[in-house]
Chains A and B, each alone.
Chain A
Amino acid sequence: MSDTSTPSIMQEVQPRKPWVNRGQSVRDMVRPTVLAGVVASVVVLVTGLAGPLGFYFAFVLAFIVVSFINGMRHDKVKAIDKVMTTLVTAGFATAFIPWASILFTVFKRGASAIYFGYFTHDMAYTAGDDELGMGGLSHALVGSLLILLMASVIAIPFGIVTALYITEVKGKLSGLVRVIVQSMSGVPSIVAGLFVYAVVVSRYSFSGFAGAISLAILMLPTVARTSEEVLKLVPEDLRSSAYALGASQMATTFRIVLPTARSGLITASMLGLARVAGETAPLILTAYYSAVYSLKVTGQPLASLPMYIFQNFSTGTDTALTRAWGGAAVLLSFIFILFIIARLAGRGSRK
């Protein structure tokens, strides 16, 4: 391009950096920030607003006013533009603060509970109010893994098949099925727990498997609804092409529709998993809690991370509370790692 398009000009064509809208430069941002900070400080000192939240509130309001005045020096459109930019940024920051605050609090408070042995010991010989550095949550971590694994094995295939019935089979009952799935997603988790307690636990015993059933009941509607949306996104053209190639509906569904929707279906499964990974209420009634490391999912209670947190919180002493925070930190990391694994799996072997 460069050597053919400028034959008459004797200078070499230099590539230009892509044009970007720089918006406000940093210097433009400093003055309103400082000004709004000063105004907010005064407001906090003089009026009833107090504390960091009060300051934040005053700061955002002051910033809006300052950016409006700043914009009015040019014209009205510029002023409105600045105010809107501030509002959107403030909205983002306001949503971000609780998120960061939760993470910060959990890891700060839980940090002192976590040591290497935390992941290799159980609580069989340690009480919640024993000093830190003893015992751990290996039993709860493994229990959670087992329960979630079983719940996924039950709920993900059923959820995807339900979605397939609605979008691919389009049977006579698909409308009804959709309504049932929708109402299932409104079932309170404790009710799912009670149901499994009545049907399974009261006849046999508390067990990890019973816990998995209750979580699967909660997972199923999320997986089914999200999978349905994902399958609807598969272009109708692809199905037509497959049929025109002499494919049966079965072959079309399994070889074309499902592979095309694969990463979306993995996301749907992850959403379902995330929905139940931190559930505590149904586990109180189904898997209950055990302080001992075990891989046995039937016939006896099985520990889980949420129940570990709950148990230590119930004990209520300082060290037990720290253990609860440590458990919360591990649970958060655990879910985060699950998400990363799913993302990688969703990206898949292709590319």
Chain B
Amino acid sequence: MENDDINLTVNATNTNAATGGNALDEGRVGTNGLQTKGVHVWFGKHHVLEDISLDFPANSVTGLIGPSGCGKSTFLRVLNRMHEFIPGAAMAGEVFLDGEEIYGPKVDVTAMRLKVGMVFQKPNPFPSMTIAENVLAGLKLANIKVQDKDSLLEECLTRAGLWKEVKDRLKLSGSSLSGGQQQRLCIARALAVKPKVLLMDEPCSALDPASTLKVEETIVQLSADMTIVVVTHNMQQAARVSDFCAFFLSDGGPGQVVEADRTSVIFSSPSDQRTADYVQGRFG
């Protein structure tokens, strides 16, 4: 393939990363955040992703853009091993979280997923639980004990930008909220277990513009102290919320990363013609 030699690594010297040194181990400077090296994915015999090496610097937002069917969502699932629930899925390559390989033989998958939260395309609060129970569901599911549940509840809902709207009806069912509120509830639910990384799979594609705006504001605020990866079909959204962008493309074969760089570069002066065509809306 012609782009086998493209260097896909994003430089990790952005301003956000510089301020976010709180969780840094001295010995691991530079390996903070999330990295993938040579990731391939197969569904059965079907090769869907080829040689994806990307860096997701800590405390930044990275947008994964590209047309449908190019493997963005699959790649996102590889980042917290959720693709393993798809029958026939297999992967090769390495994924590092804060310098540690998450596919290592001694890794406890459920403990790893606590550090890598996920928000899905369709809002999906647990229907059998109230709003408050939904937010704290992760603690219950993973058997985590917390001293002050009320303040954690308020903190998570505030960070997800939902506290003011629901503080008087925490005892109501999660499905009584509007779609946009439900999605922010799902974000609050993901935040409660204090993940270092938040993966979002087209989090706004089922929402109206006003709700989308609120979720985007939430994403930008959250990126102050966590690493966020967002899959999106909406290029304006990628331009609005992300610090870095990776452009995925499949020309009938397995999906590859055509170009990965700062969002400003991808949208103003991309080095690959296909990226330029895509971000300017000429295809996809």
Contact = CB atoms under 8 A, between A and B. Distances in A.
A244 B80 contact: yes
SS of A interface (majority): helix
Interface string B253-268: 0000000000000000
A350 B126 CA distance: 14
Given A237-B120, A237-B122, A240-B120, A245 B141 contact: yes
B142 A251 contact: yes
Contacts of B126: 238, 241-242, 256, 259-260
Interface in A208-258: 235, 237-248, 251-252, 255-256
Given A260-B128, A351-B173, A246 B138 contact: yes
25 contacts: A235-B124, A237-B120, A238-B124, A238-B127, A240-B85, A241-B124, A241-B126, A241-B186, A241-B189, A242-B126, A244-B116, A244-B117, A245-B114, A245-B190, A246-B111, A246-B112, A246-B113, A246-B141, A251-B142, A251-B143, A255-B140, A255-B141, A256-B126, A256-B137, A350-B173
Nearest to A234: B127
B80 A262 contact: no
Interface string B117-147: 1101010101111000000011011110000
Nearest to A242: B141
B110 interface: yes
A240 B193 CA distance: 16
A170 to B, nearest CB: 9
A245 B124 contact: no
A256 to B, nearest CB: 6
Contacts of B143: 251
Given A237-B120, A251-B141, 5 more contacts: A241-B189, A245-B114, A246-B113, A248-B141, A351-B173
Nearest to B118: A244
A262 B128 contact: yes
Nearest to B199: A244
Contacts of B128: 256, 259-260, 262, 350
Contacts of A251: 140-143
A262 B126 CA distance: 13
Contacts of A238: 124, 126-127
* Interface range for B: 20 to 34
B23 interface: no
A21 B283 CA distance: 47
A244 B142 contact: no
B142 A247 contact: yes
A110 to B, nearest CB: 42
B143 to A, nearest CB: 8
Nearest 3 CB-CB pairings of A with B: A247-B141, A246-B114, A259-B128
Contacts of B127: 238, 260
Contacts of A237: 120, 122, 124
A243 B116 CA distance: 11
A242 B111 CA distance: 13
B118 A247 contact: no
A350 B131 CA distance: 13
B141 A244 contact: no
B29 interface: no
Contacts of A244: 80, 82, 113, 116-118, 120, 190, 199
Interface string A54-89: 000000000000000000000000000000000000
B173 A245 contact: no
B196 to A, nearest CB: 12
Contacts of A350: 128, 173
B130 to A, nearest CB: 8
B120 A245 contact: no
A240 B118 CA distance: 9
